[in-house]
Amino acid sequence: MPRFIVKLADDEYVEWSTVVDAPLAGSVTRAAACHEWGEPSVARADRRGHSQVEGPRVSEANRDRVWSPEELIAGNRAGPGESELSLDELRAAARRASGTEEANDG
């Protein structure tokens, strides 16, 4: 299944799995995202809110559409018991997972 870079906020990115409908790990900065997935992929995420990094190609209409973070995370299962988290809750959980909660707070 496809995996994507999702831009949650300025300088805050996660790798998103469509299998688990949640981030695969904690959030990273733009510099770390560029190191991990390459600047062209991160630049696409900057423009569109997302960028596919692995898996079968998604439809061109969905691939090129600009998505807000709220649209991209809708229906996520990132919370306890696979519950849906709001964007703020998801960002806080991703920061905790990466150990940067206080550094990126706000």
The per-residue pLDDT for range 38-96, each reduced to its tens digit, is 999 999 999 999 998 876 566 666 667 788 999 999 999 999 999 999 999 999 999 99
Q: Is residue 103 part of a domain?
A: no
Q: Is residue 80 part of a domain?
A: yes
Q: Is residue 94 part of a domain?
A: yes
Q: Is residue 105 part of a domain?
A: no
pTM of structure: 0.84
Q: Is residue 54 part of a domain?
A: yes
Q: Is residue 106 part of a domain?
A: no
Q: Is residue 58 part of a domain?
A: yes
What average pLDDT does the segment 8-16 reach? 96
Confidence of residue 104 (pLDDT cuts 50, 70, 90): very low
**In this predicted structure, what is the pLDDT of residue 85?**
97
Q: DSSP for the chain?
A: --EEEEEEETTEEEEEETTTTEESS--B-HHHHHHHH-HHHHHHHHHHSEEEEESSPPPHHHHHS---HHHHHTT---SGGG----HHHHHHHHHHHHT-TTTT--
Q: If we measure between CA atoms, which residue out of 43, 28, 47 comes closest to residue 95?
A: 28
Q: Is residue 104 part of a domain?
A: no
Which residue carries 């805050």 as its tokens? Answer: 12
